[in-house]
Amino acid sequence: MDNIYAPWRSVYLSEKIEGCVFCHISQQTQNDGVHQVFYRDAICFGVMNKYPYTPGHFMLIPHRHIDCPAAMSLEQWLHIQTLAQRGITMLLEGMGAQGVNMGINVRKSAGAGIPDHLHLHFVPRWHGDTNFMTTIADTRVYSTDFNALYQRFVEMAKEYLVSELPHYHE
């Protein structure tokens, strides 16, 4: 795959993290802006994907270091699924996506890039968002400023994810 210059990503490469990157982000609440965490509660957090398929690709990640939904209580799973439903609405209504892919890769054999820590992907889609660059050149063009999009997600999360969400205890 060819590379396209993206200097805003240099911060991801400069931070050395030992252990699980998701546990690190979970524990580093003071660095939410650096890690692009736009939502946080007692069960999980929402973070922009560092290597997005399309602009607005984000993840919901439980704070607990688990590799499978079966390791969660039903209450925790329902909490994340409530946020998943709202996250899809946020992409469709708040961002104007024409469709959404949502997926979970459970463990390495299912294709999880970080197989030991469960995470749910949400990928906004538009008609024609995969074009000749992806098909022929095996390259994606990210047409939106990543940091500006993160700030937009911080604001959208207040409207779509936080409002009237039941309070759950871990």
89 vs 100: CA distance, rounded Å = 9
What is the residue range of 14's domain?
Answer: 7-162
Would you say residue 52 has pLDDT above 90? no
Residue 55 lies in a domain: yes
Q: 63 in helix, strand or coil?
A: coil
Residue 168 lies in a domain: no
Tokens read off for 34: 């650096």
CATH code at position 131: 3.30.428.10
Residue 18 or 71, more confident? 71
Residue 74 lies in a domain: yes
pLDDT value of residue 136: 52
Q: Model-level pTM greater than 0.85?
A: no
149 vs 133: CA distance, rounded Å = 22
The residue type found at 119 is: H
Q: What are phi and psi of 137, to 5 degrees?
A: -95, 0
The residue type found at 79 is: H
Number of domains in the chain: 1
* DSSP state letter for 165: P
Q: What is the pLDDT of residues 138-160, one digit of tens each?
A: 655 656 788 899 999 999 999 99
The residue type found at 139 is: T
Q: What is the pLDDT of residues 71-96, one digit of tens each?
A: 999 999 999 999 999 999 999 999 99
Would you say residue 168 has pLDDT above 70? no
Would you say residue 137 has pLDDT above 70? no
